[in-house]
Each structure stands twice: as C-alpha cells, then as structure tokens.
Structure 1
Amino acid sequence: MDQHFEPLLSASDPKQFMSAFRLIQQAYPSTDALLADLVSRLAPSLYEPWYDQDPHGFYGITCAALTENLLPETKRWRPYAQQLWALRKQRRRTPITVDSPGPTSQATAEERWARFNDVTRSNFPAALGICRTFLCNEADRDFFRARTLMQALRDVALGGHKFNYMAQSWLVAERLGLKHAADALVGPLHLLAAADQQFSALDEVVEPAKGRTAMSNQRAARPEGFSERVLYGTERDALEALTELQKATQDGDQKIFDHLLFAAARTLACAARNRWLPAVRAFHTTFLCQECYAWFDPQDRASAVLQAGLIINRAARECRADSKAPALNETIQVFCPTAPFDVLKSVISHSDPYASATAVYAILGMNEEARRELLQMLLAQALKNDGDMCWGHDILFVSETWKAYTRSDSPNRDYFPASAGFLLGQILKKYTLAAEYGV
C-alpha cells in the first residue's frame, strides 16, 4: 500500500493533522497536482469487502474536487483538508492486482463489455484488466463511459449513490485529462461489483421512454401538480407524470431537469427530521444526469431522465416526505431578518433549518454582490463542519444547488440555494478541525 499520505492520515489530533496538511500544501504547486496524486496513490486502496450502506471511501474527495472551483483560489485547499480529515477513519487496503485481459483485448467493444459484465462480480481483478482496454482510445472510452454510467443509474440499490460515485469519478478523471482514469474508477466499479443490486425499476423505465411523440414539439407548459405526483404518487404515477412532461416540453430533456431538480429539492424540505440523505442523494443523481447527459448513449437519454425521476420518488418514501410540511418560503412572506448574513451564520450553527432558508431568501432579494457573498458563506459553513458528518454530501449539495440556481430561468429558482441553507441548518455539527484550520 502506498505510504505517501500516511503521515497525514495517521494524525491523531487536529493540530498534528493540520501541521502535516500544510506540508502537503507546500509540496504541491496546485490542487490539480494534489488531486492527481490522491487519485493515483489513494483511490485504489479505498474499497470494502462488501457494502451495506453508502461507501465513503474516495467519494468525499470527488465531492471536494467538484466543489473547489466555486471558492476563491486561496481557499481551494480547504475541501481537501476537510475530506482527508474524515478519511483518517477509513481503512486503506492493499490495491487490487489487475489481471491481464489476454486475448480479450483484441475483441470488439461489445464483446469486451459482455465479458466485463460476466466477470465483474466473480473475478474483479479480471474486470479491471478489461476496463483498462477501454481507456486507450477515445471511441472505446466513450463507449465504456456511457455503459458504466447507465448501468450504475439502473442499479437503485443505494438510492442513486452508485451512479453518483461513478459520474463524479468520471468527472474527476476528465478534469485530470483522463491520465488517471483507471485508478479513479476502481471505487465505483468495485461498488457495482460487490454491493447488493436492485434493477426492479428497469422495465418500468424503458417502456414509458418509448412513448415520445410529435407532441414533444409543442410549447412547454408546467404541468399542474408535477412535483406532487413525482414525490407522493406511486412509481407508475411518477413515470406517467414524467412521460407527459416529456411529450409536452418543447426544449427536450434539459428543460425537464429544472422540474426534476425542483422536485428533488422539495423532497429534502419535506423529509422527516434527520432523514436528509435519500433526498440529497436524489438531488445529486438528478444534477449529475443533467451534467453528464451528453455522455449517455442517445437511445438511453430519455430513460436516464425517467430513472432520475424514479429515484426521487423512492427517496421521498425513504425519507418519509410529508406533503403538509411548511414551505421553505413561508416565513419570509411575513418576516424578513434585518441582518440576514448574521442570522444565517447563527441559525446554521444552532441547527434551525427553516430560519436558515428564510435568511437565504432574504439575501437573494438583495443585490448581486450580496448573492455572491451568500455563496461563499454557504460554502464556508459547509466546510466548517467536520468531513465525517456528511462525507462530502453537504459541500457538493451547496455547489450543485448554486449551479442549478444560476442556470435556471424558473420563477422558483431561489428554492435551490434556500434548500442548501435548509440542509446546513438541519445536519449535525462537529467543528473539530475548524478552529485549527482558522475558519
């Protein structure tokens, strides 16, 4: 096992950890250089013999990598410190030896994919060997990426997390120029191979996706009760609502993601106390489906949209979403805090989610400079918390909701950053590293 990061990951207290991290920071010219070394030296050793819940492993590092670009350059090391502090609790294992693919390397892409699926669960080292044959040229890589993303999306055993981990790892690999793609993919591929599987939704998703007609060229209209049907209906109700929207939407699937992201954010706001994880996973899945949309095979794209809706529907049941939960903007309609930034910082620390959302709404009603400051405050509050409280879900959720807010032209777009404030106000807090880091 590579020992390069062991002095950092074996630190027993925050002072010792930060001393080691500052040495790491001085040794690397950029966060890209650090990320490349984390992927090549650490990612292959972070896997489990079996998985009965969301694996943390390297996932938090991918969250840090996808969040840091929203921070000022001088603060982009902070997400890595947060997630590496959490990784101290993870066991690092001997990297899996990769078997040679042998004659399989000369087969067609379809034949190699079939062989990859045949051996993934019975002989993972052989599967890794076949995986590497797909990473040698662009056509094979695009083929393998599309297939692995769709396979992970269809496996709903962990509520979308398999897809999230896979998509985030591909995005990290792309950021690093695909040089370390084989190492970046070990974690999500092993999760697909070793965790329980559940494909019960597949037939339900594929059939409705075939129902598109010329109606898709009609002017888009927001269907009444769309979110309610996705959140509170049966799986069939959710799929029917989505296919109706697909048929009525002029701008195609990308416009539908606005509706789905809003439904996923509502799932969080309606979730039972401390049952935020299924809703946040579903938001990640929906956002990443949109982000990676062009990577899916064209014939799979409509099904990917429907699958995201199905995961939101399941998340609503898993987190016990309540249709009678107060609206996030209910308080702001009758009360506007006079010092919303001070209020936001205070109510997040004191775990008051509705007050947090109210303060966010108040700031969004101010000027552009205040909105930019809001993003940095939300990120700072998420990064202040110890990484093992949310394992990267919180920082990634803040990043995704802000991007959804800036991209959307929906009248409901303020709901996205408000839901980020809501999440930060709800999660458990532990600030062990914050004081030592100087937050």
Structure 2
Amino acid sequence: MARQQLPPQIKKIEVKSRSTGKPEVRYQVTTDAGVDPETGKRRQVRRRFRTEREAREALSSISVEAHAGTFVPRKALTVSEVIDAYLASRHTLRPSSLSKLTYDLDVLRQFHGDKTIQSLTKTDIDSMVTALTEGGTPTPKGRVRRPWGSKATNKVIASSARLLEDAKRQGLVARNVAEHVSRVATAHRDMSSFTVGEVQTLLSALSTTGDDCDRLAHAWHLALSGLRRGEIAGLRWEDVDLDSKQPTLTIRNNRVSAGGRSVEGDPKSFTSRRTLPVPDRLHAALVAARERQCVERQTVGSAYRSGAYVVSNEIGDAYSPAVLSRYWREMLVRVGMRHIRLHDARHTCATLMHLQGVPVSVIAAWIGHADASLTLRLYAHSQDDALRDAANSMFA
C-alpha cells in the first residue's frame, strides 16, 4: 500500500538535537488557528512533533478547535501569574471576601505556583487535596501543616475551580481541570442551641458583680441577641445609641478572620446591615461595658489604643473573631454550662424567637437574612422540650 502523502500543513524537516548535536527528523505543523481575540488578526500556529502520527493528530485537533473557537495557543503563564491577575480583577469583592479568596488561592500557589497554567492537571489538584487532608507538609512559614478539615479543603477546591474557569473563559487553558475534583466528604453536624432555662442560667451568671464578673459579658449578650461573631467583633461605639429613649445599635461593620489575620468590611449581605432596638438587659450590659472601658482608658493612659470598638481588650484594641470564640468556650466552662459554638448563640436567639411565636419574617429581619425561608431552614428547629410539649398536647 502506497505511503500517504503529507498534507501541505505538515513538513518533514531536520533539526539539530540539543543533547547530542546530531540531526534528527521532526514533523512541523504550520496551520491557521482562527482569529486572535486580542488583536483581531488571523492566528498561525507552528509546532514540531517526533512522529508523523503525532503531527497529523495535532493538525486535526487544532483545526477542529479553531473551527469551534476553542483553540488555546501555548502560553508560558505560571499558576502564580494567573492567580495574581485573577485577584486583581476581583475589584467588586468586599475586602473580607477578597482576603479569604487570596488565602485559599495562596494554597494552590504554594503547591503549584511555579507550574505553567497549561501544564496543571487534575492529578495536581487531587494531590494538593490529599496533602491538605493528611497534613505533614510544610507551610510558607516553615511550620508543619496540620490535617485540614473538609470545609477548609473544599473552599480551596472551589476557589481553584473558579480561577481555572475564569482562565478558560479567557482562552488561557482548554479545560478546567479542577471542575470535577471530588469534594471532601463533610460529616453532618446538627446546630445546637440553649434552652430557655439555659439562657436564663447563663444571663444570671453574667450579671454577677465583683471579681467574678465576666469582662466580656456584653459580648455574650450580643451573641444571644442574634449577632454574628464578625458583627460582634466589628461593632463600634459610634454605631450604638444608648442614651436616647429608644436605644438602638446599627450593624454596619464586619470583622472576620482570613488567613490568620482580622479583616474588616461591610456586613455579610445587604440585609445584614440593620438597626436593632436594644432590650433592657442588653442595654445594662452595654452601659456597664462603656463605663468599664472609660476606667481602663484612664488607668492605661497614653498607651490606650482607639477604644472605638464595643468589644475590646484592656488597652482598647479590638479582638480577633477567633479569640472571641476561645473566650466563649472558656466562659462556658467557668460557669459550668455545656459547650455550644459562639455562632450557636445566634442560632439560640432565632430558635427561641420562633418557639415564642415571633413571625419568621420578623426573625429574618432581626438576624439579617434576606430570605425568611432560609431563616426557617437554618435556625428555627424546635428543641426537645418543645417537641415533648407538642407530643403531650395530642393526648391532652
């Protein structure tokens, strides 16, 4: 059978080997690859292959992709360079969201930042996920990484997938290799909340006077009033009116942890920005905190910091959200109560409101949800005592 003639786009050439210096045969493909979207001009591709078969397959593939408008020319951009450009383009993100995204993508940068974006594979992403969940790899600060949980690992996967999807839209890569990376299984965790009796016990413990008085009692009052941890940490005195006939506080700042540091920005959503009436018990706790901070300012003198935050330490600095969670755990141990997360105090507020017959739409407005159905789904779970009362009522 006669040998098939080479198409005009493929030429058999001789090149000098870089390793041996001797001539070697290569098959050079030179073909049209559609229009360059950046310049609007026709784009020509030239590539060399060891075998005729490889050259023919490449020519066919380039022709099909050029016709479909999906051809991706070779570029030497590294993963780090693409990450930098992507982060620079996210100018609409809130500072806290941008900081979290930067933290997640810095993990991808650490593992594969020096690779070209076009050489990145699904296996690379899978190996990164394995390294995170197993732990033992070095961190950028030279420490040994502890095993990551599913939530944090899945955020890195999702951020990597969004990055690569953006690169695909720009024509930097032919496919999103992180798109089908399996997420780490997440164990189901029920939300916890205090009962009415437990809330009363806790508030009574926080209202004690003397040396045993909890310095951050007002922070825990705010948590039980439905504020998020970041809203508590970011609340400033300028947003609290304690002296009018109808005291209020306004949520307009959010202080969150991202990459080991505290970042401030707008509240979590548009409806998270809200003004709430201050009930008597919370009012008393906030007044006591304001007076205590005035005494601390006088005691510390010129070394006292801004004192702008409602929840601040002895020298007037705001707390990081993670520190507030630690102090919450320690406080529960000190007063002899079972542990629930600081965020579960917010859950307690919404649940008890629901059990007292407050309309879900009002609960949603109080805790800053745009969708009342989300409020009902996330927070308004009847507690065991309420369920027993409901069961008994059927046979009364």
Normalized against structure 1, the TM-score is what? 0.19
> Which structure: greater strand fraction?
2
- Larger CA Rg, structure 1 vs 2: 2
Q: Compare relative contact order (CA 8 Å, sep 6+) and give the higher one, 1 or 2.
A: 1
TM score, norm. by length of structure 2: 0.21
Higher fraction of helix = 1
